[in-house]
């Protein structure tokens, strides 16, 4: 009579084991990293504005404008939507940086994809 084997592990348990043992980042890790990058970007902008001597001026607007804020403002000023190439021309950001910013803004719900390559303000 053959020996009875124990219960086989589930697929989810195996995936979690590999993710944990090989230190593969999860969606939650990527989201936390995105939030930390935004915070660091704001801190760098604040530090650079202090170096220029802008900390004493009060204009009513926040002195810190992150790259995400710049892209969001460009898209807001065009209610019909704006293509990737137009956003790139208006902001002057590299393609890689702009793609990361658009992905992050879409994920946060600040912009929406009207169609492929066309973005509108949310």
The tens digit of pLDDT for each residue in 65-90 reads 789 999 999 999 988 899 999 999 99
Q: Is residue 4 part of a domain?
A: no
Instruction: Write out the residue range of the structural domain in which residue 43 sits.
Output: 11-52
pTM (predicted TM-score):
0.50
pLDDT, mean of residues 3-21: 84
pLDDT, mean of residues 47-52: 72
What's the CA gap between 113 and 73, in Å, rounded? 15
Q: Is residue 91 part of a domain?
A: yes
The total number of structural domains in the chain stands at 2
Q: Using alpha carbons, select from 115, 87, 122 the residue that is nearest to residue 101.
A: 87
């Amino acid at each position: 009579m053959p020996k009875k084997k124990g219960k086989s592990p589930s697929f989810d348990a195996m995936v979690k084991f590999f993710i944990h043992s090989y230190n593969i980042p999860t969606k939650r890790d990527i989201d936390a990293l995105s939030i930390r990058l935004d915070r660091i970007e704001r801190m760098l902008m604040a530090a650079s504005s202090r170096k220029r001597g802008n900390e004493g001026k009060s204009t009513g607007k926040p002195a810190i404008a992150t790259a995400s804020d710049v892209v969001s403002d460009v898209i807001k000023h065009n209610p019909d939507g704006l293509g990737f190439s137009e956003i790139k021309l208006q902001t002057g950001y590299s393609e890689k940086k702009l793609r990361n910013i658009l992905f992050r803004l879409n994920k946060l719900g600040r912009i929406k994809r009207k169609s492929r390559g066309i973005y509108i303000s949310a």
